[in-house]
Structure 1
Amino acid sequence: MFASICLGAIINIADVHARSTPKKASVITAGVLPPTVRAALRQAGVKPSSMSVVVERIDAARPILSVNARRAMIPASTIKLVTTFAGLSILGPDFRWQTKAYVDGELKNGVLQGNLYIKGSGDPKLIPEELIDLVEQIRQAGVVRIEGDLVLDKSYFADSTRYVKWFDENANAPYKVNPDPLLYAFKSLTFTLTPQADGKMLISATPPFEQLYITDTLRITPGLCAGWPAAVVPAVQFAADGSTRVAFSGEYPLACGTRVKSVSVLDHTQFFARGFLALWRQSGGTFSGHVREGPYLSEARLVGLHKGPVLAEIVRDINKFSNNSMANNLFLTIGAQSVKPPADLAKSVGAIKQWLRRTGLVMPEFFISNGSGLSNEARISARSLAALLRAANQSPVAQAFVESFPIVGVDGTMRHRLLNTPLVGRARIKTGTLNEVRAIAGYVSAANGASYIVVSMINDPRAPAAQAAHDALLEWVYQRPH
């Protein structure tokens, strides 16, 4: 059932975990979609055969609704549930990534006549608020002026993990940032645009970034806020002097108010270096060397060790906000920790498949090529995903896992879904979206007091128009009479 929260109810893991033998369902399994779901599919022009569904009571052995349940489907971001459950189970909810700093050469009177090495291990949430801790540790070790190089040790991930062939043309979008041992601020510059009453635009950028120059010729106009965010696309240029120049132009309706725009720029090495050096100079440090990649030397001395947030927090960010970069870094970390570094695709896939077998989850159709689901190659059935949700809810990591789901009408990717319905605060649902895919998977606390596992995937060219079918399914589950 669901343990209480201020806005409704969530699954009560303790009650479910105590039951090792599910009761038999009192309802005969139905193989026909509810009328409201069929109507929504018809309205969207989607055939029922394009939809795969499993609904079952959390305390029952048989589903109450099973349609195309064994069919291998493209799950989009609902595959993140496999990644995060595996991560929590294999690494533990309290696992923390480490980013280390080393120096070689002589350090005298604040001057380092040697190199500074930064060794990454794939921290998915290395953001300015986290990286500043490492900067401060290096300063506290007595380093002020670095006369050698900034050397980035990225050996924790194999080189092959850097290059991903995406299936559409928008390869530089922030949601498609490739994994990296020194993933910093999701390799994206985030601009906050605030129109002023005097007709000027205030633009700020994060993270702090070396040699970043912003020009603004935006015209603030009256009228409705239409076309955002496509209407404002910054032009990014990389100058010969090494600077990054970002230009905003066009029209910006005053009615849009403050808006945020993120852009992925540079490669991981340059992005990390410019972010790190900006914080370094802000701290009072100086640097006169070059930036390069390479392993730290065994004789180098440790001068800083930053531990990132615990995995339970990372998993919340991954599932609530469907963060692809974080999911892919976690995916590779599973392989590195299960086998040994450097991480690569084969190690991670193998580790997850072995874990599935140990967990007793048999998924003959299962295929995973990354941790995020940003792939047209991934496959899983609704039946298999429902079995995973049941196993997760009965596992030692149940609380961290279930609490990571978006809450309907409250937060994450479900914040604006099913508002003004009784489902607000009473369902935790992970969503999945690709061009021809819509998916949901999670738990519903129904009006009858029972809790249900719900999984549904739509694979169809018109899937984007079929969100209403999933909403109708969730409402049908909530209104179950028994």
Structure 2
Amino acid sequence: MLKKFTSLLATCMVVFSLSGVQISVEATASPQIEKLDQSIQRIVKDEIENADVSIAIRDEEGRIIYDLNGNRKQKPASNMKLLTSAAALEELGEDYRFQTNIYTTGNVKKGILYGDLYLQGTGDPTLTIKDFDQFAHFLAQSGLKKIKGRIVADDYWFDQDLLTPDIQKDDESYYYAAPVTALTMSPDSDYDAGSIIVEAIGKKVGEKPYMKITPELGELIIENKAKTVGSDEYRTIKIEREYRTNKIVVSGNLPLGQNWREWITVQNPTKHTMTLWKHSLKKNNIQYVKDQFYREKTPKNARLMIQKQSIPLAELMIPYMKLSNNSIANILVKTMGKLRMGQGSTKAGLSVLKQYAFSRQLDIDHWLFEDGSGMSHHNRVSSVLLTQLLYSIQAEKQWYGTFFNSLPVAGYSDRMIGGSLKNRLKTSITKGKVFAKTGAIDGVNTLSGYLIGNSGKMYIFSVLVQNQKNTIPTIDEIVEVMVEKL
């Protein structure tokens, strides 16, 4: 997908000069900007007058040409990922790959492993049940038939604080608030680590819907209290995991012939992963005698049997940023903490983010954050700071192209190009001319990135809106005016 989008990048991206470190913060009082201001002020007054709004625009040289409350600190939502992504590309590098290793402390004699089998993870969000099936198939083909020792989880690469701060109780069921451990799995190629796909299918009126689970239940159980109703009745079905339990409850009505799908989090990714690993061993006729859950560090004298490397970070950036994947963001934060600070924790990772922001001359005293995904309502940043970040990283010749390619492109229906903007800004004025990160949490919508004005010049912009719901149409109207007037 990176190669597919290269031509679009080449035609649309303008290389900005970074000849001056100091950036002017005074708006240019030109007729063009005055008309832009009049249009934006009218939209704000008519549609979001009671909301908190912060807007900033920079030109090719990084000068602020327009701002409306540009220095007001607001909730960035997933615009926080702009900083997380830049720091990850700098600290880890485009070629960084997560590793999953299988070690043993014993030897195989006549098909029997006399010793323990360790599954060691480093947070790979791309690990799937197919990988485990391939691991088990390799072991079976190598002659392994039975494991006499333990099957052990080594997830010590990360700490045991599974959730980032300020995750709301009602969000814990769903993939965007998934817990993070160093041994996690994803149900599909979107790489929503720490979740499974639960799908209800209405097949016969009066009966419970048929349930389809991807990849498998693992440690979870399902209580199906839902009912299939007539095709002309309302859908009221709900799928959620009971708070801090392994039970998924399906309730409500599902019309005949319809289906309903949710990405539901697992309570503990490590335990879930180990259960599915054992399932794969069984499917490949490898028996084991100890079924308990064991967790400890891999001994230094253990022998490596199998290693799986993930796709490189450059490739992972596409589903991560296009689809605004919170799990990947949180994993990247802990990974940076582990490699730079020696601690695989959110706290350590955020220290790395702050150091990176400081190295780019960003005023970190005015950028408050407690996660890398943007889920927390305690995160704060201004539109001026976000545009400064987006301006400064253009000097990163090694990875800026990868960063730019990862941004959603307005109006492109291919979800790995358009991403979270595939159904937004689709008019002829804006389609293919806005490259930006979306953001949304309760009462907050944001959009920050790059746009090509009617002049053909590239601009950097940020629009942050909070304390009002359903403001996406208004933000898009503001951005359309920017493209039209600049």
Q: CA deviation at 1:221?
A: 2.2
Question: Is the contact between residue 119 and residue 296 of structure 1 (CA under 8 Å) also seen in structure 2?
Answer: yes
- Alignment of 1:453 with 2:460, yes or no, is yes
Distance 1:40 1:254 in 2: 44
SS of structure 2 residue aligned to 1:126: coil
- Alignment of 1:207 with 2:215, yes or no, is yes
SS of structure 1 residue aligned to 2:273: helix
Distance 2:225 2:310 in 1: 36
**Which segment drifts farther, 161-170 or 422-431?**
161-170
Q: CA deviation at 1:258?
A: 4.2
Distance 2:86 2:234 in 1: 40
TM-score by length of 1: 0.85
Give the match for residue 250 of structure 1: 252
- Alignment of 1:443 with 2:446, yes or no, is no
Distance change (3 Å), C-alpha of 1:245 and 1:379: closer
Letter in 1 for 2:420: T
Distance change (3 Å), C-alpha of 1:382 and 1:165: closer
Question: Is the contact between residue 54 and residue 65 of structure 1 (CA under 8 Å) also seen in structure 2?
Answer: yes
The aligned runs of 1:141-290 (5 Å cut-off) are: 141-159=142-160, 161-170=161-170, 171-185=172-186, 186-196=193-203, 201-210=209-218, 218-223=227-232, 231-233=237-239, 248-254=250-256, 257-289=258-290, 290=292
Distance 1:238 1:70 in 2: 39
SS of structure 2 residue aligned to 1:479: helix
Distance change (3 Å), C-alpha of 1:4 and 1:280: closer
Question: Is the contact between residue 163 and residue 177 of structure 2 (CA under 8 Å) also seen in structure 1?
Answer: no
Give the match for residue 385 of structure 2: 384
TM-score by length of 2: 0.85
Distance 1:31 1:158 in 2: 52
Give the match for residue 472 of structure 1: 477
Distance change (3 Å), C-alpha of 1:167 and 1:298: closer
Give the match for residue 326 of structure 1: 328
Aligned pair count? 464
Distance change (3 Å), C-alpha of 1:297 and 1:441: same
Distance 1:234 1:61 in 2: 46
Mark the runs of 5 or more structure 2 residues left unpaired by the alignment.
187-192, 413-417
Question: Is the contact between residue 32 and residue 65 of structure 1 (CA under 8 Å) also seen in structure 2?
Answer: no
Distance 2:335 2:477 in 1: 38
SS of structure 1 residue aligned to 2:384: helix
Q: CA deviation at 1:301?
A: 1.1
CA shift digits 1:77-110 (9 cap, x unpaired): 1001100111011111110011111112332122
Give the match for residue 16 of structure 1: 15
Distance 1:367 1:211 in 2: 37
Distance 2:451 2:200 in 1: 38
The aligned runs of 1:88-99 (5 Å cut-off) are: 88-99=89-100
Give the match for residue 315 of structure 2: 313
Of 338, 341, 350, 2:340 maps to 338
The alignment yields a C-alpha RMSD, in angstroms, of 3.4
SS of structure 2 residue aligned to 1:222: coil
**Which segment drifts farther, 404-413 or 322-331?**
404-413
SS of structure 2 residue aligned to 1:350: helix
Distance 1:238 1:68 in 2: 41
CA shift digits 1:428-459 (9 cap, x unpaired): 22111121221111111223211121111112
SS of structure 1 residue aligned to 2:366: coil
**Which segment drifts farther, 216-225 or 260-269?**
216-225
Identity of aligned residues (%): 22
Question: Is the contact between residue 56 and residue 65 of structure 1 (CA under 8 Å) also seen in structure 2?
Answer: yes
Distance 2:155 2:324 in 1: 25
**Which segment drifts farther, 69-78 or 281-290?**
281-290
Question: Is the contact between residue 337 and residue 345 of structure 2 (CA under 8 Å) also seen in structure 1?
Answer: yes
Letter in 1 for 2:455: N
Give the match for residue 47 of structure 1: 50
CA shift digits 1:161-195 (9 cap, x unpaired): 33544353213332111221112222222023444
SS of structure 2 residue aligned to 1:277: helix
Mark the runs of 5 or more structure 1 residues left unpaired by the alignment.
none
Distance 1:331 1:63 in 2: 30
**Which segment drifts farther, 83-92 or 148-157?**
148-157
Q: CA deviation at 1:334?
A: 0.9
SS of structure 2 residue aligned to 1:151: strand
Distance change (3 Å), C-alpha of 1:131 and 1:14: farther
SS of structure 2 residue aligned to 1:452: strand
SS of structure 1 residue aligned to 2:169: coil
Q: CA deviation at 1:117?
A: 0.6
Give the match for residue 118 of structure 2: 117
Distance change (3 Å), C-alpha of 1:458 and 1:11: farther
Distance 1:293 1:399 in 2: 41
- Alignment of 1:299 with 2:288, yes or no, is no
Distance 1:339 1:262 in 2: 33
Question: Is the contact between residue 238 and residue 252 of structure 2 (CA under 8 Å) also seen in structure 1?
Answer: yes
Q: CA deviation at 1:298?
A: 1.7
Distance 1:246 1:402 in 2: 39
**Which segment drifts farther, 314-323 or 129-138?**
129-138
